[in-house]
Amino acid sequence: MKKIGVYTSGGDAPGMNAAIRAVVRTAVTKNIEVIGIMQGYVGMIENKMTPLLMRDMANIIQRGGTILKTGRSLEFLKPEFRKKASENLKSAGIEGLICIGGDGSFRGAQALFSEHKIPVIGICGTIDNDVFGTDDTIGFDTAINTALDAIDKIRDTADSHDRVFIVEVMGRNSGYIASHVGVAGGAEEILTPENILPVDKIIDRLKESRLRGKTSSIIVTAEGQKPGRAYDLADAIRKKSGLDAKVCILGHQQRGGSPTAHDRILASRLGSAAVLSLISGKSNMMIGNRGADLIEVSLDIVTKNEKHGDVTLIQLAKTLSV
């Protein structure tokens, strides 16, 4: 294998640049040329590709986002556009791909492998940590620390005004960010896709807290199918209980910022391992981790299963917030 391609797809995540850097520098040391594909599957279809050299990787490990840009392509869902993408890749001399993204991105990579026999290795990069088969994903640690920093500041004003604050974090279909931030931030209640509670039960918990002498409360909620559900919850709490409930939606700031040391190290390990796996002849695999060990998991397994949030953390938060 003399030339490989690397691309980032789907939502951006802090640490993607560290993964790109690891891919390029590991490949170059093996005398393999690396082509960067811009904007994920959009770049494949539109033939937006550029060589990546050693010097291009200087001073990117600390940068958030992705130097290759990213995007979501509805066209790529159609076979004729996947065929066009494969033709562009083969015309560029690309013999294998490294896909950095989540399970949606991996499904696209699977299609290229199954339909056009292009070898592909996946690296799990998403702040939601919702990829099956791996303990961690690139960007998750940075996202929860960004959210935690905000909650620590919100707690100061919640305490000053004796208020309930509902903090909405990202995680449309996954409660990983909410559950981890909730425990670390001392939340009284954590609402996730795995832990949906009626408003009356939340109000009962808040009233119990007041009776115990607490004057302010933090509720952490995952955003749901669309951002802004926290406003509906706050209105319901105000109307049914009279408590002063305020909302803070953290939004896309959780995707940005300089990656933590954990995410830089994880991305570096996964990126290097992905190159070694690809040039050893493996394909249709994801590189993930189980504890301190790196593992290879078939993309067929990854994309056919769901990774559910850890409800034990939600129970722990309730126990510790008394």
Dihedral sign, Cα of residue 105, residue 107, residue 111, residue 117: positive
| Residues 250 and 265 placed together within one structural domain of the fold | no
Dihedral sign, Cα of residue 256, residue 262, residue 267, residue 270: negative
What integer pLDDT is reported at residue 225 of this predicted model?
63
**Is 128 a residue of the active site?**
yes
How confident is the prediction along the chain (322 residues), in pLDDT tens digits per residue? 999 999 999 999 999 999 999 999 999 999 999 999 999 999 999 999 999 999 999 999 999 999 999 988 999 999 999 999 999 999 999 999 999 999 999 999 999 999 999 999 999 999 999 999 999 999 999 999 999 999 999 999 988 888 899 999 998 788 999 999 999 999 999 999 888 889 999 999 888 888 888 888 999 999 876 677 799 999 999 999 888 899 999 989 999 999 999 999 999 999 999 999 999 999 999 999 999 999 999 999 999 999 988 889 999 988 888 7
Cα–chain center distance at 254: 10
The residue length of the chain stands at 322
| Residues 134 and 239 placed together within one structural domain of the fold | no
Give the domain range for residue 214.
142-255
| Residues 168 and 148 placed together within one structural domain of the fold | yes
| Residues 134 and 146 placed together within one structural domain of the fold | no
How many domains, in total, are found in the chain?
2
Q: Which of 12, 103, 128, 263 is catalytic?
A: 128
The verdict on residue 84 lying in a domain is: yes
| Residues 132 and 268 placed together within one structural domain of the fold | yes
The verdict on residue 197 lying in a domain is: yes
The verdict on residue 173 lying in a domain is: yes
| Residues 27 and 132 placed together within one structural domain of the fold | yes
Last residue of a domain, one of 195, 224, 255: 255
| Residues 288 and 219 placed together within one structural domain of the fold | no
| Residues 135 and 281 placed together within one structural domain of the fold | yes
Q: By C-alpha distance, which of 25, 26, 20 is closest to 6?
A: 20
